[in-house]
Amino acid sequence: MGMVLLMDGIHDLGGRQGFGEVGYSPAEPVFCHRWEAVARALLVVVAGAVEVSGGEFRHSIERMEPGHYLTSSYYEHWLTAAATLAVEHGLVTRSELETRAGGRFPLSGPALVPPVADVGPDVDAPRFAVGDRVQVRECHPPGHTRCPGYVRGKNGTVVRVDGIHSVPDIEAHGTARRREPTYSVRFDAADLWRDGQRGVWVHVDVWDSYLERS
pLDDT at residue 26, as a whole number? 87
Give Cα separations from 210 to 77, 112, 124, 130, 174 (angstroms). 27, 20, 16, 16, 20
Residues 92, 156: one domain?
no
Other C-beta atoms lying within 10 Å of the C-beta of residue 72: 15
pLDDT at 214 over 80: yes
Let me know the angle formed at the C-alpha of 54 by 95 and 58, rounded to the nearest 5 degrees. Answer: 60
What average pLDDT score do residues 181-189 get? Answer: 97
Cα(49)–Cα(59) distance, integer angstroms: 18
Q: Is 113 left (phi over 0), alpha (psi -120 to 50) or beta?
A: beta
- Say if 154 falls within a structural domain: yes
Range of the domain at 104: 1-112
Identity at 100, one-letter amino acid code: R
49-64, pLDDT tens digit by residue? Answer: 999 999 999 999 999 9
The H-or-E segment that residue 205 falls in is: strand 201-207
- Point out the domain boundary residue: 112, 145, 163: 112
Residues 107 and 141 grouped into a single domain: no
Calculate mean pLDDT across residues 141-158.
95
Same domain? For 29 and 106 the reply is yes
Query: Tell me, what CATH number does 179's domain have?
Result: 2.30.30.50
- Tell me the pLDDT band of 116, cut-offs 50, 70 and 90: confident
Q: Which amino acid is at 165?
A: H
Read off the pLDDT of each residue in 181-209 and give the average, rounded to a whole number.
Answer: 94
In total, how many domains does the chain have? 2
Query: Are 61 and 81 spatial neighbours (Cβ–Cβ below 8 Å)?
Result: yes
Residue 67 lies in a domain: yes
pLDDT beyond 50 at 6: no
Q: What rounded mean pLDDT belongs to the chain?
A: 92
